[in-house]
Amino acid sequence: MKQSKDPFEAALEEQEESPPDSPVGEDELNSQTPNEPQNQTNGGHNLLVDDDDYDNIGPNIKNPSHPSSSSTPKLHSTSVNANVATRATTKNKEYEDEEEEENVEVELSKFPSSADPAKMAKMQAILSQFTENQMSRYESFRRSALQRSNMRRLLVSITGSQKISLPMTIVVCGIAKMFVGELVEKARIVMTERKESGPIRPCHIREAYRRLKLEGKVPKRSVQRLFR
């Protein structure tokens, strides 16, 4: 157990130098060091490394913050902590040191994956300037995920076959999450067009879904559903 802290703290110190204003850095890491072995199966699932998505969500993050109560960020973090607890860094030396490394929620202090220092630096710069609201929303964005077990059950019931491999579940969860993102973003666009505010209502979602259908992003049913 002690070993896990060392490379991590080394990385943490390395982190502390860069964005001084990043609010989540240390607290996040310290609160996450308790190992959660039962979530290990979710390890691969919750790797929220998306350099590509950074660009996509850019404009979204800059949205004016919604009036959220102070209690909700905590609600998100605690319930999400229970839900998801794994995030891996790609620095290879840390992989070999401790498996618990992977169970620690590294979230925002590390941006592994392509290990592209330019992208990482850009991301750090952006993140350091986030308001608390934006940070909590970004945290929700990174950590949220559909449960793999539920997805697997759904896939089994759809295909009728028990042999749903793990990569397939992971892929479908990822695709579904991005689809939700498309829906919600389009619904927000619809709302601004109609000059409405507040929580998203079903009518916005339906309009967004209709537009996505027109764009061809929703697979069409080959069989007509006659009796709905």
Partner 1 sequence: MSNPSAGASSKSKVGSSQPSETSFKRKRGVFQKDLQHMMYGFGDDPNPLPETVALVEDIVVEYVTDMAHKAQDIGSKRGKLSVDDFLYLIRKDLPKLNRCTELLSMQEELKQARKAFEVDEEKLGTLE
R_g of the chain, CA atoms, integer Å: 20
> Which residues in 123-152 contact partner 1 (CB under 8 A)?
137-147, 150-151
Helix (H, G, I), strand (E, B), or coil: what is residue 175? helix
Is residue 38 near partner 1 by the rule CB under 8 A?
A: no
- Cβ atoms 28, 109 nearer than 8 A: yes
Distance separating alpha carbons of residues 25 and 28, to the nearest angstrom? 6
In the complex with partner 1, the residue whose CB is nearer, 85 or 145, is 145
Is residue 99 near partner 1 by the rule CB under 8 A?
A: yes
CA angle (135 as vertex; 182, 170 as ends), nearest 5: 45
Is residue 115 near partner 1 by the rule CB under 8 A?
A: no
Q: Which two tokens stand for residue 64?
A: 């004016």
Is residue 177 near partner 1 by the rule CB under 8 A?
A: yes
Is residue 79 near partner 1 by the rule CB under 8 A?
A: yes
Q: How far is CA 176 from CA 29, 43, 70, 158, 214, in A?
A: 28, 18, 29, 15, 19
Instruction: Give the range of 6-14, 29-37, 118-126, 164-172 binding partner 1 by CB under 8 A.
Output: 164-172
Distance separating alpha carbons of residues 207 and 41, to the nearest angstrom? 37
Is residue 35 near partner 1 by the rule CB under 8 A?
A: no
Distance separating alpha carbons of residues 172 and 119, to the nearest angstrom? 27
Question: In the bound complex, what is the minimum distance in angstroms from residue 33's beta carbon to partner 1?
Answer: 17
Distance separating alpha carbons of residues 127 and 207, to the nearest angstrom? 32
Instruction: Give the range of 4-12, 23-31, 118-126, 173-181 binding partner 1 by CB under 8 A.
Output: 173-181
Is residue 225 near partner 1 by the rule CB under 8 A?
A: yes
Is residue 90 near partner 1 by the rule CB under 8 A?
A: yes
Question: Contacting partner 1 (CB under 8 A), which of 17, 64, 220, 226?
Answer: 220
Distance separating alpha carbons of residues 62 and 185, to the nearest angstrom? 13
Is residue 83 near partner 1 by the rule CB under 8 A?
A: yes
Instruction: Give the range of 16-24, 30-38, 122-130, 200-208 binding partner 1 by CB under 8 A.
Output: 200-208
Helix (H, G, I), strand (E, B), or coil: what is residue 139? helix
Is residue 36 near partner 1 by the rule CB under 8 A?
A: no
In the complex with partner 1, the residue whose CB is nearer, 18 or 49, is 49
Is residue 91 near partner 1 by the rule CB under 8 A?
A: no
In the complex with partner 1, the residue whose CB is nearer, 121 or 171, is 171
> Which residues in 5-24 contact partner 1 (CB under 8 A)?
none
Distance separating alpha carbons of residues 112 and 119, to the nearest angstrom? 10
